[in-house]
Structures are given as C-alpha cells and as structure tokens.
Amino acid sequence: MRSKINILGSPVNNCDDSIVSQLKEDKKNVKRLKKDDNRSDNKTNINHVIIEKVGPQFLDGVTKLTYVSGYNGDYIRFDEIIQKNQLKSAFFCAMTIEFSWLLENLPKNISIVVAKHWDPENGDSQGVFCIPNTNILLVHPPMSSMGHGCFHAKLMILIYDEWIRVVISSANLISHDWEISENIVFIQDFPRYNENNIINNDLHLFAKELKDYLLAMGLKSHIIDKLPQYDYSKAKAIIIPSIPGAYKGIDDVKKYGHGRLSQIVKNICEYEDVELECQSSSLGSITPDFLNEFYRSAKGLDPYIIPKQRKSKRDKEQFEENESPGPSQPSQPSQPSQSPQALQQSQPLPPITIVFPTNKTVLNSKYTFAGAGPLCFSKKCYEQITFPKEILRKCESNRNGILMHTKFLLARFIRPSPDQLEEKRLLEQEQNRQIRINKRKIIKNKYDSDESATDSDVADVDIQETITKKNILELSQDTVTDDVHDVQGDNNIVGWYYCGSHNFTESAWGKLNVSRDTKEIQLKIYNWELGIFLPITKLRDDDKENNIGEQRDWFRDHGVPVSYKRPPNPYEESDIPWVSLLIKVFY
C-alpha cells in the first residue's frame, strides 16, 4: 500500500521514528528561518517594495537562477516573472502544484490552463477537465504505458496585451521551489505582430515545438490558437522535449531526449570530444553503457549507430589460434561467460562527471531534511555493482547552505593536441587514399579495364553513378565506418549548456534497446520533460592559459549562471551521496 505523501514528498509511515521527528522539527525551523529571512530582506533590500515593470523585459532571452529567501543578488522572483497586473491569460505545467500559492500570485478572473502529474491510484484519470466554480482548465496528460514514469516538465506560457512570455524551468509551482530551493529558469518574450505585419502561418521552429508539445498533452485549442500571433524570429534557445514512448526509426529517435540532443549538437556545433558535467537533483541506475550512449549524443554522434570495431589481420589470427587448439594439445575447459553486470563494469568510462550532494552537504545545509525534499537517489541504485562511483562530484551551492533543484549539462569542447591533429590528418589522408583505390576498383569492374585507371577516368564517371565517400567507406572492410565525419560547426562555439527539468536519468533522457517485436533499435522514454539548449561562444581570452593555481569557473566566465561551486570537488573517501530514504516522489 502506498504511503501518504506530504508536500515535501516524505511518507508518514515506515520510517525511523527519530528521522520523522527530526523532519517535523526541521519543518518548524523552516517557517522560523523564512520569517527571519523576510525581516532581513526588508532591512537590506528596501527596493523590493515591488514596483512592477511595464512591458516586455526579456526580449533577448535570459537564463537566471531563482531567488532564495535570505540571499540577495542577481536572482529572479516568481512575481517578477508573472508581472501580475499585466497578465491576461496563462498556461502552467509542473510535476507538483500548490494551487493556493499559485492563485495568490495571479490576477483574479483570468483564464488559466494547468497541466500536472496525476495518479490513477488516487482516482485520477487522463483528460482535460474544467474545475467547477473556477476559471481553471486542468490537464492530465497521457502517461507512460511501460510501467512507470511521471509528468515532470516545467513550462509557463504567459500572455499579455502586446507580447507572449515563455518560461522553461526546473521549478515546480510550489512555495518550496521559489523560496527555499535553488532553481534555474530560461525566459524570453516575443512581441505580437502589429497591424502592418503579415502573420506568418508557418510557425517558427521554437513555436512549432511548443505547439506539438501542448498537442501531445491533449490540448486542442486554448493557448495553442494564440501562438501564431507572435514573432519568434529572435528565439534564442533550442527546445529539447521528452515525451513517454518507445520511438523506433531514425526520424522519431531524433525528436526526443538525448536523440534530440545529438541532432542539435551535430547541426550546430559538432566537435571531436567534449568534457561533460551533469548536475542533477535526482539519480537512478547509472551504468557505463548509458554513459557511453549519452556521451555519443553529447558529441553530436547518432546514438543509434553502434561504432564498428576494427580488427587487424593479426588480431584475427590470434583469435583463431586461441580458439582452435592443435591436435597435440588437449582442449581447455570452457570458461564461464561474463555476466552482463561484469561486462558493463569492464566498459571504459567517457569523460563525464556527475554532480550530486553528499550526505554531509545536506545535513550541514540551512534547512537540512526539510530542504532535501527535491533530492532523490536510492541506496539500492548507488550500491549496484555497475554504478560508477568514481565520477561523482560534490554539489555545493554558491549560496552557502542552500540545496538546489537545478538540472544542468555543461559541455566544454576538448581542444586537440598537436599530436592528435597530426594523427587526424594522417587518418584522413589514408581514408582519401582508400577512396581512390575503391573508385578505381569500381571503374575496373564496370568497364572491364585494368587497374591503371587514372584520375581523369574517375572524373569521367557519370555523376549519378559516382560512389559517395560514405558509400565507399561502408564498402571498405579495412575502414572504420563510424565516427569519421567532417566538423561543420561554428568555430566560435567552444561548448554548450542545457538547463530544464531533465534529471540525469534514463527515464528522462531515454535509453536505447532493441524492440522484441520488430527487432528495431528504439529509444525508450518514461517521463515528460522539457529543457533548453544554448551554445557557448568563444571569448577573446579563451586562448590564454590560467595563472598557475588559479581555479576559474570557465562556464560562469562565459555567462552560464551555474548554481554550484566549480570546478566541483571529487567525493572524499568517507563521502556518500544523499540517499533519499524518506523521499517517495520525483521533483
């Protein structure tokens, strides 16, 4: 039987009595600390007698950390996002919603559409419902039919007289996420077409993806009908959605989760290698297999193409010699095959680190247990033999004592060394030589001539019958057919970052497997998620090396509002991650 759940996500039974009593005490302390923080804010931040700004404030798009009670700085508050006195209608979606808190922050008598997580065990059902005696339309989107999953996306579409505001964030619509936990938001305003503009019926990609996402939730009109009235030509970010399902075929895999990430990186800033840092407020069963699959997407490689391993003639001979004992040698007893877990464990790990708070960080935080509601990681997952403990890094807020609900992917391109560049040049030279050899062989077979075909013969082959570089690479057994591609990205792009609702889990980003029915490669996604991708452009000082001993935050230097101390420190020998013994819901 499922435990009852309170707003912070902890069950009231099946827990150690001392922990439950500590949690209750922490909640009392939260209320007291918030009162103290508000008094402090009133003394030190007199200017926040909110004078609401008029008109659009975010036409260029901006990524900001949310305000936390008791900490001043360049942070954004919920009321600054809403601009209550100018708001005309709104769409909201989140995992959890405090309706009383939300409605306090909205003008009365405006049309509101709200999409949220739902559970059939609570008597809920899929569909769109009018809440009696209110102006609220409630949406329960289709959930995963594969056994588990949740509606975890955080999106606001706010409509004003002359503009529309899109907000994609990591924050639920509860006071905890806007006053106690640290969250991240991307905000951009888009102006309404004026009378002199012709409304473009072909929606901009940014708006089209919003529309498709809303349609998938089950909405038919409402907010959707208003999207074409605005100009999205200056859209700054690229949307990365996840929708529950098993997606087969290249076109569908490219649409969602890390399949979508791979296409964005490939089209915008494909590069050889990246260093990837993944900050998450929830973790699951992380395996080397998933890390390598995800890393391919982060590099802009198609995740559904398995790289072919090249075997030399010597390797084959060695294999045959080991497998076929001579007549004078007694055959050796067969060795037991390795378990899938052992094979996973033996896989090399890509350059990925995972940033997640330690038990010590949580216990020493300002709100301790009560502030840890959004953090989810089970002891069972951590203790799995395949979990790569060595890649964990400490997650410590730049605002000392605060726990965070942000989700970041931070990618920095690895600059090749001179030796690596020379190796790449020689590899390309050899590939070009193989292409010429294969072309001559093709001409010989076609025209029944000898191998003395010249370059002019190659040029004379009819264009429609010319074999492309890709085809020839595939025809050559001595050439690797994957991971060989020209970098066509912008040379000024030196990295990228993601922020939004995706935790670093298979349920959020998807995992490739083979369909039992069709034997096709498929990407399985269990959660609804939404986030944004932004490239990081080169600065003038990027080519300069830091002074010895200087630890700069490269991402903050490039304008990314990272919430935690960087570079993050490795776990110490005595450290363990915060495991959510009490937590039963995903934030």
* DSSP state string for 269-291: H--S-EEEEEE-SB-----HHHH
Two structure tokens written together for 344: 């996973």
Which residue has better confidence, 518 or 297? Answer: 297
DSSP code for 566: S
Q: Is 158 a domain residue?
A: yes
Q: What is the DSSP letter of 332?
A: P
What does pTM read for this prediction? 0.77
Position 326 in a domain: no
Shared domain check, 527 and 388: yes
Same domain, 358 and 461: no
Both 365 and 457 in one domain: the answer is no
Do 247 and 393 share a domain, yes or no?
yes
Q: Give domain status of residue 569, yes or no.
A: no
Distance CA(13)–CA(301), nearest Å, equals: 47
Q: What span, in angstroms and rounded, lies between the C-alpha atoms of 498 and 357?
A: 19
Tell whether 141 is covered by a domain.
yes
Task: Identify whether 207 is part of a domain.
Answer: yes
C-beta of residue 586 within 8 angstroms of C-beta of residue 376: yes
Confidence tier at 453 by pLDDT (50, 70, 90):
very low
Q: 84: which residues sit within 8 A by CB, 6+ positions away?
A: 52, 105, 106, 107
Give the per-residue pLDDT at 197: 65
Least confident window among 96-100, 253-257, 320-324: 320-324
Q: What are phi and psi of 30, to 5 degrees?
A: -60, -50
Q: What is the average pLDDT across 473-478?
A: 30
pLDDT at 578 over 60: yes
Q: Do 89 and 177 fall within a single domain? A: yes
What DSSP state is assigned to residue 25?
Answer: H
Q: Which helix (H) or strand (E) holds 472?
A: helix 469-475
CA distances from 255 to 213, 220, 271, 525 (A): 11, 21, 21, 12
**Which pLDDT score, from 0 to 100, does residue 501 have?**
98
Cα distances (angstroms) measured from residue 235 to each of 112, 225, 413, 518: 24, 19, 24, 39
What whole-number distance in Å separates Cα of residue 339 and Cα of residue 364?
40
What is the percent of the chain where pLDDT is above 90? Answer: 54
Q: Are residues 121 and 208 in the same domain?
A: yes
Residue 328 domain-assigned (yes or no): no
- Report helix, strand and coil shares of the chain as percent, to nearest 5: 30, 20, 45
Is residue 396 pLDDT above 50, yes or no? yes
Domain region containing 434: 418-475
369: exposed, middle or buried (C-beta count within 10 Å: 0-12, 13-18, 19+)?
Answer: buried
Tell which of 428, 453, 475 closes a domain: 475
Name the residue type at position 544: K
The reply to whether 131 and 215 lie within a common domain is yes
Q: Which of 37-51, 255-269, 298-312, 419-433 has the lowest mean pLDDT?
A: 37-51
Q: What is the mean pLDDT of residues 129-154?
A: 91
pLDDT band with cut points at 50, 70 and 90 for residue 544: low
Q: Is the peptide bond before 350 cis (omega within 30 degrees of 0)?
A: no
Average pLDDT of span 46-55: 66
586 within domain boundaries? no
Are residue 210 and residue 297 in the same domain, yes or no? no
Neighbours of 235 (CB within 10 A): 17
Q: Do 445 and 519 sit in the same domain of this protein? A: no
Residue 461 pLDDT class (50, 70, 90 cuts): very low
Instruction: Please report, for the domain that includes residue 492, its CATH number.
Output: 3.30.870.10
Identify whether residues 379 and 366 lie together within a single domain: yes
Integer Cα distance of 336 and 37 in angstroms: 63
Task: Kindly state whether residue 108 falls inside one of the protein's structural domains.
Answer: yes
Indicate if 143 and 181 belong to the same structural domain. yes
Residue type, 455: D
Strand positions, DSSP E, 317-430: 352-355, 392-393, 408-413
pLDDT: which is higher, 311 or 96: 96
- Given the structure tokens 């990205």, which residue do they identify? 489
The domain total for the chain is: 3
Are 221 and 168 in the same domain? yes
pLDDT at 485 over 50: no
